[in-house]
Amino acid sequence: MKKKNIIRSQFEYTKIIKNCKYKKNNYFIIYYSKTDKNNRYGISVPKKIGKAYLRNKIKRRLKNIIDHNEFNIQKPYDYVIIIRKRLIELNYQEMEKSFISIINKR
């Protein structure tokens, strides 16, 4: 994921979470809002998930999934992705399948 496609400010995170639509399943909560530009992503992994190395591993995997499936994701939206604790039970393929199914569900 390129650095220009990342939501950085806390103000943008809270604006998207408070005022926009969301989708959820057992592993993800995804808030989204329509924009004029390219897709942007913000990934949040709570401390309940585990130690820092595990949270970073989940973020790296999710960024990789987004990069490989960019053509399957609807454009242009801002996405805030919040990880749920049950995600640590999944392997990479199951994580990818779950993420793609929820991101394309409208």
In the chain the domains, ranked by start, together with CATH numbers, are: 3-98 (3.30.230.10)
pLDDT surpasses 70 at 1: no
Q: How far apart are CA 43 and CA 105, in angstroms?
A: 19
Condensed to tens digits (0 to 9), the pLDDT of residues 37-67 reads 889 999 999 999 999 999 999 999 999 999 9
Condensed to tens digits (0 to 9), the pLDDT of residues 63-99 reads 999 999 988 888 889 999 999 999 999 999 999 999 9
pLDDT surpasses 70 at 14: yes
**Residues 46-82: b if buried by 16+ CB within 10 A, e if exposed:** eeebeeeeebeebbebbeebbeeeeeeeeeebbbbbb
Q: What is the predicted pLDDT for the residue at 5?
A: 86
Q: What is the pTM of this model?
A: 0.90
